[in-house]
Amino acid sequence: MKLAGVAAVRFFAKPDPARTGLLIYGADAMRVALRRQEVIAALVGPEGEAEMRLTRIAAAELRKDGAALHDAVKAVGFFPGPRVVFVEEATDTLAPTVSAALKDWREGDAQIIVTAGSLTAKSALRKLFEPHPNAVAIGIYDDPPTREEIEEILHRAGLRHIDQAAMTDLLALAKALDPGDFRQTVEKIALYKYGDSAPLTPAEIAACAPATVEAEVDDVLNIVAEGRPQELGPMMRRIEGQGVLPVTLAIMALRHFRTLHAAASDPGGPGAGIGRVRPPVFGPRRDRMQAQASRWGMFRLEEALKLLIETDLTLRSASKAPQMAVMERALLRLSMLARH
């Protein structure tokens, strides 16, 4: 049986212990691993490994000893409860071994869970699980998690009181982060909100979101975009002391102002435009950039982009002018332009 979408999400959350086996495959090893962890935990419980109801077999080990899978599936455990035999990083070369184990499986045997990388429709492993009457095959793709998946992650973390704006930011954050990073961030938020019954807010999400190396540069760009030239000098000395290169600053400034331009030029207005940018912007930063886009307008932002492109070309040329001075001069001109 082949499952996808909502049916696959529900199966991972509540797998059927009477199934013969499960194949989880996909190009993103992290996504596959997270789903494998989820389904095994649901089958054997938190003490499953300690009670020896979970057997792990590496694909390389199984190639050397083909009988290891059959023996593990048939073994009788010391503790009561469902048992799982997990084969990691399998390839189609193991199809005959897995096929024999599936054919010889009987009620009461351990459930066979196999993970693999990207598999084509003609894959031998997929052809074993997809038509099997009592086995399941689920492909994991790089699509962003659905709202239902995100709500399930939040529920398991104990986060149940979330206002609408905060949920919007969590959806954006889920698209911006790797699955593992997103789950860790949700756990961090849950610890932050422990004992707090008030609804989760965008500001709290921003406080717990992963800090980026761009944080200091963002401060500089906000000074520039909001027309505060008197604050620029000290901040430039600060990031220069931290080793930020002028070319790096130029690239990040271009990206920031391109985002503002995309928001300002959207037919639905800056609010709609900032919601469409990729990677997504969320939390207080989204509101701040929306205000900046409204303040500048599309045409002045085009002037700003022209100046930044010229500055970037100068920095990459054979010019002997001090590069940080060239970049600071450009940012000072932009901050003055923002005040008009």
Q: Indicate the residue among 91, 121, 140 that finishes a domain.
A: 140
- Determine the average pLDDT of the residues in 21-25: 96
How far is 139 from 129, CA to CA, in rounded Å?
12
Tell me what pLDDT residue 332 has: 94
Please check whether residues 18 and 100 belong to one and the same domain.
yes
Among candidate residues 165, 204, 199, the one with its CA nearest the CA of residue 185? 204
Q: What are phi and psi of 32, to 5 degrees?
A: -65, -45
Q: What is the rounded average pLDDT of the residues 283-311?
A: 91
48: domain CATH number? 3.40.50.300
- Any idea which of 144-153, 206-215, 280-289 has the lowest mean pLDDT? 206-215
Mean local confidence (pLDDT), 164-192: 83
> What own/partner pairs with CB < 8 Å and gap ≥ 24 does 148-151 have?
148/6, 148/9, 149/9, 150/174
Q: Are residue 197 and residue 226 in the same domain, yes or no?
A: no
334 or 151, which is more confident: 334
Last residue of a domain, one of 101, 121, 140: 140
Give CA torsion, residues 173, 176, 181, 185, to 10 deg. Answer: -20
Task: Share the mean pLDDT of the chain.
Answer: 88
Residues 175 and 97 in one domain: no
Domain housing 64: 2-140
| Residue 73 shares a structural domain with residue 163 | no
| DSSP β-ladder status, 2-3 and 54-58 | unpaired
pTM over 0.95: no
Q: Which two tokens stand for residue 297?
A: 């307008």
Kindly report, residue by residue over 105-126, the tens digit of the pLDDT: 999 899 999 999 999 999 999 9
With beta carbons less than 8 A apart as the criterion, state whether 113 and 36 touch: yes
Answer yes or no: do 19 and 126 share one domain: yes
Q: What does the pLDDT average to over 91-96?
A: 94
Residues 124, 168, single domain; the answer is: no
Query: Which residues are CB-contacts of 36 (< 8 A; sequence separation ≥ 6)?
Result: 24, 86, 113, 115
- Residue 113: name the closest of 87, 146, 133 by CA: 87
Does residue 87 register a pLDDT over 90? yes
Over the stretch 191-214, which tens digit does the pLDDT of each residue have? 988 888 888 888 888 778 776 545
Residues near 42 by Cβ (< 8 Å), separated by ≥ 6? Answer: 12, 13, 14, 15
**pLDDT given for residue 146 in this prediction:** 75
pLDDT at 204: 85
Of 170, 190, 208, the last residue of a domain is 208
CATH number at residue 299: 1.20.272.10
If asked whether residues 203 and 218 sit together in one domain, one would say no
Indicate whether 99 pLDDT > 90: yes
Which position has the token pair 């900046």?
Answer: 292
pLDDT at 213: 45
Which of 21-25, 30-34, 107-111, 282-286 is least confident? 282-286
**Mean pLDDT, range 92-98, rounded to an integer:** 94
What is the predicted pLDDT for the residue at 172? 78
What is residue 29's predicted lDDT score, i.e. its pLDDT? 86
Are 189 and 217 in the same domain? Answer: no
Q: Where does the pLDDT of residue 215 fall: very low under 50, low under 70, confident under 90, or very high at 90 and above? A: low
Mean pLDDT of 299-317: 92
Residues 17 and 131 in one domain: yes
Residues 227, 320, single domain; the answer is: yes
- Mean pLDDT along residues 180-197: 86
Query: Cα–Cα distance between 62 and 324 in angstroms, integer?
Result: 58
What is the 3-state composition of the chain as percent helix, strand, coil, each rounded to the nearest 5?
60, 10, 30
Count structural domains, the chain. 3
Task: Supply the pLDDT for residue 72.
Answer: 93
Give the range among 21-25, 67-71, 315-319 with minimum mean pLDDT.
315-319
Are 106 and 172 in the same domain?
A: no
pLDDT in tens, 34-51: 899 999 999 998 888 888
Same structural domain, 202 and 218: no
Other CB atoms within 10 Å distance of the CB of residue 232? 18
pLDDT at 168 (0 to 100): 83
